[in-house]
Amino acid sequence: MNIVSAKQNTGDTSELNPMTEFKEGVELLKNEYPQKAVAKLRRAYECDKHNPYFMSFLGLSIARAQRKWDLASELCETAVRLNPKELQFYLNLGEVYAASGMRERALDKLDDAVQLFGEDARLKQARSKVQNRRNPILPFFGRAHFLNRELGKLRHSALKYLVKATK
Question: 31-35, 92-96, 133-137, 142-146: lowest mean pLDDT where?
Answer: 133-137
Let me know how many helices (H) and strands (E) the chain has, helices first: 9, 0
62: left (phi over 0), alpha (psi -120 to 50) or beta: alpha
Looking from the CA of 40 toward its CB, the CA atoms found within 13 Å total: 20
The angle formed by the CA atoms of residues 86, 91 and 97, to the nearest 5 degrees, is 130
**CA Rg value for the chain:** 21
pLDDT of residue 70: 96
pLDDT of residue 131: 82
Smallest CA-to-CA distance from 92 within 111, 118, 67, 72 is with 72
Give per-residue pLDDT as tens, 64-113: 999 999 999 999 999 999 999 999 999 999 999 999 989 999 999 999 99
CB neighbourhood size of 122 (10 A): 14
pLDDT of residue 20: 94
Give per-residue pLDDT as tens, 124-133: 999 988 887 7
C-beta of residue 101 within 8 angstroms of C-beta of residue 70? no
pLDDT of residue 3: 38
pLDDT band for position 13 (cuts 50, 70, 90): very low
Handedness of CA 134, 72, 121, 166 (dihedral sign): positive
pLDDT of residue 161: 84
